[in-house]
Amino acid sequence: MNWVPDACTLPTAEQPLRVAEFDQLFADHLVTADRVDPLTLDLVLTADSHAVAADLIARESACCTFFTFTLDAQARLRIQVSANRTAVLDALAARLPE
């Protein structure tokens, strides 16, 4: 996973597991995805995903402060990065199911 920036404090051995958690969230709960702009990805998740998504983004926010996650009550998730982290968002967006 060469796209994970040095700013990520998640131990290297745990990074594939975290990626797998995002893959599972997307596989189980993704309804739609919209790449709003290079810095922003909007996801609509299933209504029953809120607790799972909230837990995952809380843990991801703790180790990867370059992400900004906004999850609303309707399970709409906005993921944003700064201009110098677009490659990370690109890599995450590439993991979305087609």
- The per-residue pLDDT for 63 is 85
- The per-residue pLDDT for 66 is 85
- The per-residue pLDDT for 4 is 62
Domain 12-94 has CATH 3.30.1360.40: yes
DSSP string, the chain: -TTS-TT--S-GGGHHHHHHHHHHHHHHHEEEEEEEETTEEEEEE-GGGHHHHHHHHHHHHHH-TTEEEEE-TT-EEEEEE-GGGHHHHHHHHHTS--
Residues of the chain with pLDDT under 70: 1-11, 13
| pTM score, whole prediction | 0.89
The ranges assigned to domains in the chain are 12-94
